[in-house]
Chain A
Amino acid sequence: MKEALIKTEKLSKSFSNGGTMQHVLKNIDLQLYKGDFTVIMGASGAGKSTLLYTLSGMDTPTLGKITFEDSIISDFSQDGLAVFRRDHCGFVFQQIYLIDGMSVMDNVLAAGLLVNKDKKALITKAKELFKAVDISEETQKKFPTQISGGEAQRVGIVRALINSPEILFADEPTGALNSKTGLDVLDTLTKFNRQGQSVVMVTHDIRSARRGNRILYLKDGVILGECDLGEYSHGNVKRHQKLSAFLNDMGW
C-alpha cells in the first residue's frame, strides 16, 4: 500500500479572463504517492502547470481542498504556503530561474539556509549534490550567466534537493534545453527518484514522460486517465509501447 503525500478533493481553479471566468481545473480528486515519479501530461492549455503549482502551494485553488500529509495547505496564508514550500517541496523550472546576482553555490545555499541552521553540514551536502550532478567546484563559484543551460538546470536540481524535500516538482525541466543536456537532466531526476525522492513532473514530451512510473493525462481541466508504467529502465520497449498506447487512448 503506497503512502499518499498529497490528496486533493474537488480541486478547481478558475481565472478571470477579460470578464469571463476560465475554468482551468475542474473538481479534481487526486492522490500523489511517496516515492513515485508522477508525470502529468496533456496538450497545451490542459491545465498541467496550473495543477502542478496548485499542488505545490505556489498557487491557491479557487475551490476544493489540498492536503499534504495531515495539513490542509489550501487553507494556508501566502506566508504559510512559503514555509510549506521551503520545508516540503523542491522546484525545478523550465526557465531554471537562478538568481543572476549570486554565484552558483550561493543560489543553492540561499534555499538551504532557509531550512538548515547547520551551515557546515549544508555546504557538505551541497557539494555532494553538485558532485552527483557533475558540477565542478570551479563552476560552483561562477554566476548563472557564465554557465551553460544544462549546467544551470542541474544547479536548479541541486537547489531543489538541498533541503531534502518530500516532493520535487518539475515543470518542463527539459523544455529549454537541447536533447543531450535534456537527457542529462532526466537522468539526474531518475537517479534521485531511485534513491527514494518523490517527483512530480509536468511535460508534453513523450521521452521525458517515459521516466515516470505513473502517468496522469489531463484534458480540459480534468484527469482523463492514468497509466501505471512501473519502474523506469532504459531501453524497455514494452514500457514505451504501453505509454504510447495510453496516450493514443487519451487522444494525444
Chain B
Amino acid sequence: MKKSFLIVRSNIRKSVGQTTAIVVLVLLSALMLNLWLMLATDYTANFDRYHNKLNAEHVTLVADENKDEFKKFLSKTVENDSRTSEYRLDNCMCAESTFCYNDDEIFTDNSIFLEKQAAVTRTVGKIEILEEGNETSGVYLPLVFKNTDGVEVGEQIDIIIGNHKMTYTICGFFNSIMMGSSNCGMIEVVLTEDKYTQLEDMGYAPQSTLCSVRLKDKQDDISYETWLSSAVLEDYPNIGVFNNNYSTVAQARYISQMVCSGIISAMAFFVLLIALVVIVSNIINYIQVNMKNLGALKAVGYTSGQLICSLLLQFLTLTFIAALVGIVLSYCLFPAINTMMIQQTAIPYTMRFLPIPLLATLVVLAVAVTFAVWFASRKIKKIEPIDALRSGIQTHNFKRNHIPFEKTNAPLNLAFALKNTMSGVKYNITVFITMLVLSLVIVFSGLMIENVIADITPFLNLIVGENSDSSVNILTEKEDSFLHAMEDDSRVEKIYLYTTLDVSHNDGANLMASLCDDYSVLDNQNLIVDGRYPKYDNEIAVGAKYAGEERLKVGDEIEIAANGKKFKYLICGFTQTSYNLGRDCMLTRKGYERLGELTILNYHINLTDKTDIDAFNQEVKDKFSDSVIAAINLKTTLENLANVYVSLMTVIVIAVLIISAVIIVFVLYLLVRTMLNNKLNDYGIMEALGFTSKQLILQTALSFMPTTILSVVVGLVISSFIINPLTALFLSGIGIIKCTFTIPILFIVIAGIGLVIFAFVIVCALSLKIKKIAPRALLSGE
C-alpha cells in the first residue's frame, strides 16, 4: 500500500491541472447528488414530521352545516368506522374568498375560517403559530402568504368573502399541514375571537363544520375520504361538502420540490457521466504517456494489480475529497433552495445533518469511479515490461494517414485540425458525450424559457388546464339572464361553462370532474392525451394518470357516483390536468345531470384585450348581486400562482446554464491540457518550422470543432424529440402524461451555435499556453 501511495503522490504532482478539473466535476456531481437526496428524502419527510407534530388529520371534510343533529350524525358515522383512529369536529365558516394585498390577488374556492383559540388547541389538525406581533384583533394567515408576496405582521389585508370585502390587520402567520396553501384544496384562515364573532354576525360566510379524521392506516385516506363524503351527502344531499386527503395534499404541497429534485438528479447523473468519461479518458492517456514508466515499474517487480490499485487509490482519494467538499457546499446552498421551495410548500424546514444522503452520495460516486478506473486501466495487465520499455509511447496507429495534405483541398490550418481530430479518438469521445449532454440541457433551458419564463401560458395550460380572463360563479336559476347580459356586452369575446365538482368512481377514489357544454370551445385543446373529449351524455374522459393506476382503457365502461346516484359512462379519452394530481375526469353538462342538478355554475369569460378585468367583474357582481357567488380575475390569480414556478424555473435555468458552462470549461481544460502535454514536441517542431502561435491555437481549437458541431447537432435534434416526454416524466407525479411544450427552434439553433462558439473561444483561451512554448525549449541545449 505504501508503494501505491508513492505512485499516487507522484501522479497527482505531475498533473495538478488535470486533477483539478476532475475534482471540480466530481465535486459538482457530489453537490447535486447530495442536494437531490436531501430534497427527495428528508425534505419530503418534513411533511410527515409536521403532520405528526401537529397531529394533523388524514382526511378533512368541511360541510356548510353545523346543526347539532348533523354533528351527531357525523360523529357517529366517523366513530363507527373501524379505520378511524381519532377525530375532531369544530365550528367554522366556509366561503369562497379573494385575498387582496400588495396589488396582488389570490382566490380560493374554500376558505375555512376558524377562531384562533380553537385552531391552536384542536387535538387533531391544530395550527402552529410561527410568527405573531402585538396585534390582538385581526387575522392569522398561513405562511404561504408571507413567503409568496411578503406581507408582514401589522399590515392590512382585504379579504373578499363571497361578495363582501373585509379588512383585517395581520396578527401573525401559522403553519397548517392540511389547509396551509391553496394547493390543499382548502385554505385555513384564523381570526381573533372578536373578528370571528363579527364575521359570524355578518353572515357573509355560512356556518360550517370542520371534521378532521386521523386514520389507523394513512393509506386508507383516499377511500375513506370518498366514503365519508358519500355518506354525508347520502343523508344530507343539499349541503355543500369539501374535502381533502393526506396523499393528495402531501403531493400537492411538494410539486416544486418534485420538479426541482427531478432536475437536480438528472443534472447530477449527467455531470457524473461526464466525470466518468473524463476519468476514463485521463487514465487511457496516462497509460499511453507513461508506458515506459509502467514497463519499468513492472520490470522492478510491481504487479498489474498494484499499478491498477494505485490508480484506484488516486482517483478514489480525489473522489472522496471532492465529494466531501461538494457535500459541504450542498449544505451551504441548501438554505437558498429551501427559501425557493418554501414559497410553494409553505412548510418550514430546518436544515440538519443527514448521514444517509451523505453515505449514499459517497457510495454512488465510489462505485462509479471504481468501475471507471477498472474499465480504463485493464490495459495495464497487457503491458509486457520489455515491450513497454522498448516501444514506449504508442500514440499513433499506422493504419491510416488521415487527411493527407497531398489530396485534401482544405486550408492548411483546417487540414491540420482535421488530422488531429481524426487521430484523437479519446478526445472525441469525451467531447461528444459532454456536448451531447449539454445540448440536452440547452434544449431543456430553451423549453423552460419559452414555455415558462418568457410566457407562462403554455405551462399554465399544462398544469392548470383551461384558463381564461374571468371566472364567474353564478346560481343556476340566474343562468339565462346572465348569459343574455354577457351576449350583449361587447367586451365579452367568448363565454362558456366550465365547472368543476367532485364525483367518485366505484365508491373508491374521488375524482374532480370538469363539466362543459361543448369541449370544442375550450381555449386549451391539449387536455386530451388519448382519444377525444366527451361529446355525448354517456361519455367520460378520465385522468390519464388515474386510468393508468386503475388499468382503464378507452372504450371501458366505468360507474361514476355523485349526489347518491350512479351512472355508467363510456371512456372516450384520457385527460391530463394537475388540478387533482391526475385524479380527474371530464363530463358533458348533460352527462353530469344524470347524477344530479347543478345548483352553481362556473362560467369562463374571455374579454377583449384592453378590458379591465377587475372592473368587469365588479360590474357583474353589482348587476347580479346575490346571484353571483364569486367573480374572479382568473388571469391575475393564475399569474400570481405561476410566479412561484417562474421564479423557481428562472433560478433552475440560470443554475443549469452556469453549471453547463463550468463543465464545458473544465472538460475542455482537461482535454486541451492533455493534448498540449502530449503534443508539446509537435508544437515545438511546428513553431520551429514557422507556424505562428496564432496558427497553432487556431488548429487546436478547430480540431475540437468537428466533434463539437456533430455532437451539438445530434444532441439538439435528439433532445428536441425527447425533451417533451422527458418533461412529462418529471411532471408525471402531478398527473402530466404528455407534454406539448413548443420547442423553441430558433432559440435552440442560436444556443447551439452559441455553444459551439463558446467551446471554440474556451479552447482558444485554454490554448494560449501555446504562446509559452518556445521552439528552442524542445531542442537539445548546450
Min CB gap B674→A, angstroms = 15
Which of A58, A83, A101, A115 contacts B419, CB < 8 Å?
Answer: A101
Residues in chain B near residue A113, CB distance under 8 A: 405, 412
Beta-carbon contact of B690 and A83 below 8 Å: yes
B508 at the interface (CB under 8 A from A): no
Min CB gap A175→B, angstroms = 9
Q: Which residue of B lies closest to A89 (CB)?
A: B690
Which of B689, B692, B774, B781 contacts A79, CB < 8 Å?
Answer: B692
Residues in chain B near residue A143, CB distance under 8 A: 396, 398, 401
Cα separation A50 to B782 with both chains bound (whole Å): 7
Q: Mark out the residues of chain A between 59 and 87 whose CB falls within 8 Å of any chain B CB in the assembled complex.
A: 59, 78-79, 82-87
Cα separation A115 to B412 with both chains bound (whole Å): 10
Q: Mark out the residues of chain B between 722 and 779 whose CB falls within 8 Å of any chain A CB in the assembled complex.
A: 771, 774-776, 778-779
Min CB gap B403→A, angstroms = 9
Beta-carbon contact of B771 and A111 below 8 Å: no
Beta-carbon contact of B688 and A97 below 8 Å: yes
Which of A98, A123, A171 contacts B779, CB < 8 Å?
Answer: A171
Q: Which residue of B lies closest to A93 (CB)?
A: B779
**Quick one: given A97-B681, A109-B405, A123-B406, are A91 and B776 in contact (CB under 8 Å)?**
no
Residues in chain B near residue A110, CB distance under 8 A: 405, 412, 416, 686, 689
B531 at the interface (CB under 8 A from A): no
Cα separation A49 to B782 with both chains bound (whole Å): 6
Min CB gap A100→B, angstroms = 6
Residues in chain B near residue A89, CB distance under 8 A: 690
**Quick one: given A82-B690, A82-B692, A143-B396, are A53 and B780 in contact (CB under 8 Å)?**
no
Beta-carbon contact of B779 and A109 below 8 Å: no
Residues in chain B near residue A146, CB distance under 8 A: 398
Which of B401, B412, B775 contacts A102, CB < 8 Å?
Answer: B401
Residues in chain A near residue B780, CB distance under 8 A: 49, 94-95
A99 at the interface (CB under 8 A from B): yes
**Quick one: given A24-B782, A109-B405, are A59 and B774 in contact (CB under 8 Å)?**
yes
A211 at the interface (CB under 8 A from B): no
Cα separation A66 to B194 with both chains bound (whole Å): 100
Residues in chain B near residue A95, CB distance under 8 A: 779-780
Which of A87, A99, A109, A119 contacts B686, CB < 8 Å?
Answer: A99
Residues in chain B near residue A196, CB distance under 8 A: none
Beta-carbon contact of A99 and B685 below 8 Å: yes
Name B's interface SS.
helix
Cα separation A82 to B683 with both chains bound (whole Å): 12
Min CB gap B408→A, angstroms = 9
A164 at the interface (CB under 8 A from B): no
Cα separation A143 to B688 with both chains bound (whole Å): 20
Beta-carbon contact of A106 and B412 below 8 Å: no
Which of B395, B682, B689, B782 contacts A111, CB < 8 Å?
Answer: B689
Q: Which residue of B lies closest to A162 (CB)?
A: B689
Residues 109-138 of chain A, each 1 if its beta carbon lies under 8 Å from chain B, else 0: 111011100010001000000000000000
Which of A2-10, A40-48, A186-194, A225-233 makes up part of the contact surface?
Answer: A40-48
B288 at the interface (CB under 8 A from A): no
Q: Which residue of B lies closest to A109 (CB)?
A: B405
Beta-carbon contact of B406 and A109 below 8 Å: yes
B423 at the interface (CB under 8 A from A): yes
Q: Mark out the residues of chain B between 422 and 436 whose CB falls within 8 Å of any chain A CB in the assembled complex.
A: 423
**Quick one: given A101-B419, A123-B406, are A49 and B779 in contact (CB under 8 Å)?**
yes
Min CB gap B505→A, angstroms = 70
B344 at the interface (CB under 8 A from A): no
Beta-carbon contact of B689 and A159 below 8 Å: yes
Residues in chain B near residue A47, CB distance under 8 A: 782
Min CB gap B170→A, angstroms = 70
B687 at the interface (CB under 8 A from A): yes
Which of A46, A103, A114, A141 contacts B690, CB < 8 Å?
Answer: A114
Beta-carbon contact of B416 and A78 below 8 Å: no
Residue from the set B416, B685, B780 with the largest chain A CB neighbour count within 10 Å: B685
B694 at the interface (CB under 8 A from A): yes
B693 at the interface (CB under 8 A from A): yes
B404 at the interface (CB under 8 A from A): yes
Beta-carbon contact of A91 and B694 below 8 Å: no
Q: Mark out the residues of chain B between 389 and 447 whose CB falls within 8 Å of any chain A CB in the assembled complex.
A: 395-396, 398, 401, 404-406, 412, 416, 419, 423
Residue from the set A83, A94, A102, A171 with the largest chain B CB neighbour count within 10 Å: A102
Cα separation A140 to B412 with both chains bound (whole Å): 19
Min CB gap A146→B, angstroms = 6
Min CB gap B773→A, angstroms = 10
**Quick one: given A97-B685, A113-B405, A143-B401, are A48 and B782 in contact (CB under 8 Å)?**
yes
Residues in chain B near residue A123, CB distance under 8 A: 406
Q: Which residue of A lies closest to B681 (CB)?
A: A97
Residues 672-703 of chain B, each 1 if its beta carbon lies under 8 Å from chain A, else 0: 00000000011011111111111000000000
Residues in chain B near residue A111, CB distance under 8 A: 689-690
Residues 169-183 of chain A, each 1 if its beta carbon lies under 8 Å from chain B, else 0: 001000000000000
The 8 closest A-B CB pairs, nearest first, are A86-B690, A109-B405, A79-B692, A103-B401, A85-B690, A82-B692, A59-B776, A111-B689
Given A91-B689, A99-B685, A100-B396: 18 more A-B contacts, CB < 8 Å: A49-B781, A50-B782, A82-B687, A82-B691, A82-B693, A86-B690, A93-B779, A98-B685, A99-B686, A100-B682, A101-B423, A101-B682, A106-B404, A110-B412, A110-B686, A110-B689, A113-B405, A115-B690
Task: Please list 5 pairs of residues, one from A and one from B, whose beta carbons are closer than 8 Å in the complex, sorted by A's number.
Answer: A45-B782, A47-B782, A49-B779, A119-B405, A171-B779
